[in-house]
Structure 1
Amino acid sequence: MIIGCPKEIKDHEFRVGLTPSNVHTFSEAGCKVYIEKGAGEAINFYDEDYKNAGAIIADKEELFEKSEMIIKVKEPVKEEYDLFKEKQVLYTYLHLANDKELTEMLLKKKIFSIAYETIRKGKLLPCLAPMSSIAGRLSIIEGAKYLEKTYGGNGTFIGGAPGTRKGKVLILGGGNVGFNAAQMALGLGAEVIIADIDLARLEYIDQVFHSKITTLYSDSGNIKEWIRDCDILIGSVLIPGSKAPKLIRKEHLKLMKKGAVIVDVAIDQGGCIETSHPTTHTDPIYIIDGIVHYSVANMPGAVAKTSTIALTNTTVPYGLKIATLGAKEACLQIPELTEGLNTIDGKITYKGIAQAFGADYFDPIATLQAYQ
């Protein structure tokens, strides 16, 4: 299969879909790989490194024209829509349940799209996990920064100081993001609370952290009580492939301390805070009712080199199967990739996306078997 890896053009997105080492792996498997000129330069992966690994350096138009499969990091943006060819394979993060326009483009062009975030192995999301870990840890670092009075925060130092109270961090959701956020917050000396509806998960967290973190059952009444005293609120609730539930409403902001910070890590899936909207690394925050909101949609892009390596460690093995077996056969043979299939031949094959738009859902196996 001919692979194309374009340069990301989303604001401050310096990650890249393939490293030079990954190109070498694909080349050894008999694939031809096109890399857009300068795709990895921002994180010290230079064109010469890619060429030495076997890649062909091309401009964006040539890359899209010649490639059978496009490997990216983030979902395509509008400027890239016209570059896609009918029935091309797209392998990247997509978050389609929050992006009707992109979904419509993929359907119109009959794109064979496989989304990193919906590839599932049992209960695990292997291609989402590394970015969730990084985003969870970053959420505390960013939350602590924007607590500074300079940015409109209430001036609390998250770790406190002798003779003062520590900052209080409330984390909604005890999954991978929430767990890593708790780990970072505890390490910085904060008082940490995790809320979740999965009691078994709360028990696990309590044991792992040796009861140093408060675990609470999450319901609307309890949330109203807990948000009154938190300095940083982390929204980390995920329903794979579907829109995130809105746990914090606009009226809840009036209950919070002025200058508290909300970090909505679920913003890629629409956010779990009603007042959240996607922001960028260039302009990351805004303030509503005295509450600082941080909702950058590509948080791990801030640490692009680490994120790229962590991501490709998980995405490349699946990508190699797609490239060597063909997208149809790989999805039929590998259950994880069947789960990852979002659109094929103009049809939506992931329930959460169909439900988000009130569209028809098509069984992925039956759709694959009929695909020519």
Structure 2
Amino acid sequence: MLVGIPKEIKNHEYRIGMTPAGVRELVAAGHQVLIEHNGGAAIGLTDAMYEAAGASIVDTAQEVFSRAELIVKVKEPQPIECRMLSPGQVLFTYLHLAPDPEQARLLIESQAIAIAYETVTDSHHGLPLLAPMSEVAGRMAIQAGAHCLEKAQGGLGMLLGGVPGVAPAKVVVIGGGVVGTNAARMALGLGADVTILDRSLTRLKELDALYGPALKTLYSTTETLEQEVTAADLVIGAVLIPGAAAPKLVTRAMLGRMKKGAVLVDVAIDQGGCFETSRATTHQQPTYVEEGVIHYCVANMPGGVARTSTFALTNATLPYVLALASKGYRQALQDDVHFRNGLNIHRGQVTHQAVARALGYGYVPAAEVI
């Protein structure tokens, strides 16, 4: 199969869909790979490295899209990229369609087959292709939040871990999944006072066993959420419902009771955000202020550490790309129900129930279309 890797064009997005090592594996399996010129140059992955791995370098994204049978990307296709897709072409990338009706419409109109990293599942009820970026985003959330707490950034002027004789910052993490766990781990490592909220007692017991009394765990109710958020210096939104829009857990009313100069980091922004006042920002302009509270809502947060993220993502996606290229998408999805859960749009039909519900489209089960 001919696999195409275009250069990412989202604001300050320097990741690329595959490393040279991944390309080498595809070529060894008998496939051809097209890489757009300088696609990975910003993170030290040069055209020469890709050529040494067996890829062919092309000058434009148009050439990648017009020739490749399978397009492998990182971020959701921008409108100009959606319009380059052709009927029956397979797109494999993050989509996050629930809060993005324009992208959904364009993908439906393209008649392409769109498989989303973030809804592929595994036998442990996990999201194996979302997990590596969730790990990165969770850890980055604390870095970003700590920076925003500095007075020069408009924050309270607090050091996350405090110093002897001075209390550390109070960090509240909403959600005990991959993002939340990694955020809590980083915050604890920096010496912060950390509380994590979740609605799964099983997960809270696991976190308690893992971190002991250093990490406070609370069952998430409206009351506990209000109490913790309004007392916090830094709040991390780490809530996820696969494929669906994130629930708005922190209201503007709660925000009005928070400390002026406190910080919210909404890692759920790709799915619409879990704070009522959230709106997507970029690495170029990452923050804004509502009710005196700093909001950091960068939609492609792992793009800020693009080299680490690219290697972590390729490690996770490569087996799936190989399956698509070697078997064709129909057989690859028929063979693996968990992979099939990644199919969001198939030739104009919405094939993921949460996406269809969020956007008001009719739902057609993936098993029926392949």
TM-score range, shorter chain: over 0.9
8 A Cα contact 1:90 1:112, kept in partner: yes
How do 1:124-143 and structure 2 match up within 5 A?
124-143=126-145
Paired amino acid for 1:33: V
How do 1:25-174 and structure 2 match up within 5 A?
25-58=25-58, 59-122=60-123, 123-174=125-176
Paired amino acid for 1:38: N
8 A Cα contact 1:224 1:255, kept in partner: no
In structure 2, C-alpha distance between the alignment counterparts of 1:328 and 1:102, rounded to whole Å: 23
Query: Which residue does 2:360 correspond to in 1?
Result: 358
In structure 2, C-alpha distance between the alignment counterparts of 1:194 and 1:180, rounded to whole Å: 11
Per-residue CA distance 1:325-344 (angstroms, 9 max, x = gap): 00011000112211111011
Query: Which residue does 2:250 correspond to in 1?
Result: 248
1:2 matched to 2:2? The reply is yes
Dislocated runs of 4+, deviation >4 Å: none
Paired amino acid for 2:138: G
In structure 2, C-alpha distance between the alignment counterparts of 1:53 and 1:254, rounded to whole Å: 55
TM-score (ref. length: structure 2): 0.98
Query: Which residue does 2:190 correspond to in 1?
Result: 188
Paired amino acid for 2:30: G
C-alpha displacement at 1:228, in angstroms?
Answer: 2.0
Query: Which residue does 1:347 correspond to in 2?
Result: 349
Per-residue CA distance 1:51-100 (angstroms, 9 max, x = gap): 11111111211111100010000000122222111111000000011111
SS at match of 2:159: coil
- For structure 2, list consecutive stretches of 5 or more residues without a partner in the other structure: none
TM-score (ref. length: structure 1): 0.98
8 A Cα contact 1:136 1:177, kept in partner: yes
Query: Which residue does 1:274 correspond to in 2?
Result: 276
8 A Cα contact 2:79 2:106, kept in partner: no
8 A Cα contact 1:94 1:116, kept in partner: yes
Paired amino acid for 1:44: G
Q: CA RMSD in A?
A: 0.7
Query: Which residue does 1:223 correspond to in 2?
Result: 225
In structure 1, C-alpha distance between the alignment counterparts of 2:235 and 2:345, rounded to whole Å: 35
SS at match of 1:336: helix
C-alpha displacement at 1:366, in angstroms?
Answer: 1.1
Pick one of 295, 301, 313 that aligns with 1:299.
Answer: 301
In structure 2, C-alpha distance between the alignment counterparts of 1:50 and 1:223, rounded to whole Å: 49
In structure 2, C-alpha distance between the alignment counterparts of 1:187 and 1:221, rounded to whole Å: 28
Paired amino acid for 1:349: T
8 A Cα contact 2:83 2:106, kept in partner: no
In structure 2, C-alpha distance between the alignment counterparts of 1:209 and 1:148, rounded to whole Å: 27
In structure 2, C-alpha distance between the alignment counterparts of 1:164 and 1:54, rounded to whole Å: 57
SS at match of 1:97: coil
Paired amino acid for 1:297: A
C-alpha displacement at 1:154, in angstroms?
Answer: 0.6
Paired residue total? 368
SS at match of 2:289: strand
In structure 2, C-alpha distance between the alignment counterparts of 1:267 and 1:13, rounded to whole Å: 16
In structure 2, C-alpha distance between the alignment counterparts of 1:226 and 1:306, rounded to whole Å: 33
SS at match of 2:325: helix
C-alpha displacement at 1:39, in angstroms?
Answer: 0.1
8 A Cα contact 2:108 2:349, kept in partner: yes
- For structure 1, list consecutive stretches of 5 or more residues without a partner in the other structure: none
8 A Cα contact 1:12 1:281, kept in partner: yes
